[in-house]
Amino acid sequence: MATNIRPVMCPNCGAQIKKTGYCSACHMHINVLRKAYNTSDYYFNIGLDKAKARDLSGAIESLNQSLRYNKKNIMTRNLLGLIYYEMGEVVMALSHWVMSVNYQNSNNLASKYLKLLRQDPAQLEGVDQIAKKFNMALGYAESSDYDLAIIQIKAILGSNPHFVKGYLLLALLYIQVNNYEKARTTLRRVLKIDKANPLAIHYLHEMGDTDENIIQMRNESVENDGLFEDAYMEEVSVAEANSKPVSDSPIRRLLATIEDRYKKMTVKTGEFGEMRFAHYSGIYVMVGLVLGILLLFFVVVPAQKRNLRKENVNLTKQYSEEIASKNAEIAALQEEVASVQSQLDDILYSHDSTDNPLPDYSNIEHGLSEDDINMIVQSE
């Protein structure tokens, strides 16, 4: 009874594997692909162990290494999305889950995660607001408005208490204003989420904390650390809980000032607005003309002058070589003429001074004598 042997399919592209072991489409050897996929699973297991131990940064590094060997590793992408979600980076989590669903649409936990997020549109809107506020805080920090940046970051962390990047930025701001106690309190929260966060450990080392202190901070509670107990944060929390605008509140006025400054200093694009450069167009044109003129006089013209000088030097050199060659030829011809003239003079002088001069026929008055004529006739 004949048995049907199922063909071996390529795990990379899905084409059939030839008898030689190579894929008929991508031409990869099946053994190489299996080794790469096994290596990907190996790094996935390492990342899973690190995630269970709350070493989220190390887990991300291992999982990214896993994706280098197999970008279609569904378990790796799903776990990576969960870790990013735990660290408050919802956009990164969504990107990995969407790619996971594209690689495998059925029997995929990423579909469940995406469905749960779609059921809560307020959370997705909050993610967009968090991104904008975080960019505002970065702008304030770059312009040395540290107080406004701290207020903005605390507002973000109030709605997303697991946003690790927000805690790290807040710790840097506290370090900048020499409030090291608040910076340690902030970094303690980072270590509660990500026990081996390299940036948090680096900041603590810069502040003089030892590894023993860092290990002790991981075990301390953060419930009553007082990080969000500032007066302005309490007022903001109460106002948001009641969902009523408090126009007379100084905190509301401060937040309104923040929003106005952000609108003035930020160029909005996409769904948030259009770029408005119309009232600056004349200035931009003048600046462009000035830069063009400066470029012409300080770059283009000197370059052309250098090229002309170089061409003149080359032509002078060429003509000098040709003149020298012609002069050499003239000198050689003059020497040849002098040699010929010398030889001619020697010949003439030798004929004049020899002992057997040419016969002298100057005394012959007539032609042949009669005897000579008779001899000629007889000989004929």
CA 43/CA 62 separation, integer angstroms: 6
Residue with more model confidence, 331 or 81: 81
The two structure tokens encoding residue 88 = 């408050």
Listed range (74-83, 87-96, 281-290) with the worst mean pLDDT:
281-290
pLDDT digits (tens, 9 = 90+) for 97-117: 999 999 988 899 999 999 988
What pLDDT shows up at residue 257? 55
Share of residues in the chain with pLDDT > 70 (%): 76
Mean pLDDT for 302-325 is 85
How many beta carbons lie within 10 A of that of residue 51, not counting itself? 20
Assigned CATH for 124-272: 1.25.40.10
The CA–CA distances, whole Å, from 262 to 132, 147, 267, 270, 350 equal 10, 14, 9, 16, 116
Structural domain boundaries in the chain: 30-119, 124-272, 276-300
Spatial CA neighbour of 130 closest among 72, 83, 169: 169
Q: Do domains 30-119 and 124-272 have the same CATH topology?
A: yes
Share of residues in the chain with pLDDT > 90 (%): 28
The two structure tokens encoding residue 271 = 């769904």
pLDDT digits (tens, 9 = 90+) for 81-98: 999 999 999 889 999 999
Residue with more model confidence, 379 or 260: 379
The two structure tokens encoding residue 197 = 């966060």
What pLDDT shows up at residue 86? 92
Spatial CA neighbour of 32 closest among 84, 71, 69, 77: 69
Assigned CATH for 30-119: 1.25.40.10
Q: How many CA atoms lie within 13 A of 240 on its CB side?
A: 12
What pLDDT shows up at residue 331? 85
Spatial CA neighbour of 111 closest among 92, 122, 98: 98
